[in-house]
Amino acid sequence: MSCNEALRVHAYFDGELDAGAAAEAERHLENCPDCVALLRDLEATRATLRESVPYHRASPELRERIADALEDEDGGAPRRRMTWTGMSFLTGAVSGGGVTALAAVLAFFLLLQPPPDLLVADLTNAHLRSLISDHAIDVVSSDRHTVKPWFAGHTDVSPPAVNFASQGYSLVGGRADYIDGHRAAVVVYRHGKHVINVFAWIAGNERLPATTVRNGYHLVFWKSGNIAFCAVSDTGLDEIMTLTDLIQKAGAPVTRE
> What is the predicted pLDDT for the residue at 14?
75
Measured distance CA(11)–CA(19) in Å, rounded:
12
CATH fold of 118-255, please?
A: Phosphorylase Kinase; domain 1 (3.30.200)
Measured distance CA(215)–CA(213) in Å, rounded:
7
Please provide the average confidence, as pLDDT, over all residues in the chain.
77
**Domain boundaries, given as residue ranges, for the chain:** 6-52, 60-112, 118-255
User: With the CA atoms of 114, 23, 207 and 82 taken in that order, what torsion angle do they form, in degrees rounded to the nearest 10?
Assistant: 10
CA distances from 50 to 12, 44, 171 (A): 19, 10, 32
Let me know: does 174 contact 147? Beta carbons within 8 Å.
yes
Let me know: does 205 contact 220? Beta carbons within 8 Å.
no
**SS3 at position 119:** helix
Crossing angle for the helix pair 33-52 and 19-29, to the nearest 10 degrees? 110
> Phi and psi at residue 208, in whole multiples of 5°?
-90, 155
The least confident of 72-81, 90-99, 132-141 is 90-99
Measured distance CA(94)–CA(98) in Å, rounded:
5
Half-sphere exposure for 211 (CA within 13 Å, toward CB): 11
The least confident of 57-66, 86-95, 123-132 is 86-95
> What is the predicted pLDDT for the residue at 134?
62
Measured distance CA(222)–CA(253) in Å, rounded:
13
Measured distance CA(142)–CA(179) in Å, rounded:
24
Count H helices and E strands in the chain, helices first.
Answer: 8, 9
Measured distance CA(116)–CA(155) in Å, rounded:
27
Question: What value, to the nearest 5°, has the Cα angle with vertex 12 and ends 20 and 119?
Answer: 120
How confident is the model over 167-205, as pLDDT tens digits? 999 999 999 988 877 889 999 999 999 999 999 998 877
How confident is the model over 89-115, as pLDDT tens digits? 444 444 444 445 545 555 544 444 444
Q: Which residue has the higher pLDDT, 49 or 92?
A: 49
pLDDT higher than 60, residue 122: yes
Let me know: does 63 contact 112? Beta carbons within 8 Å.
yes
Let me know: does 163 contact 136? Beta carbons within 8 Å.
no
How many residues in total does the chain contain? 257
Res. 39 pLDDT band, cuts 50 70 90: confident
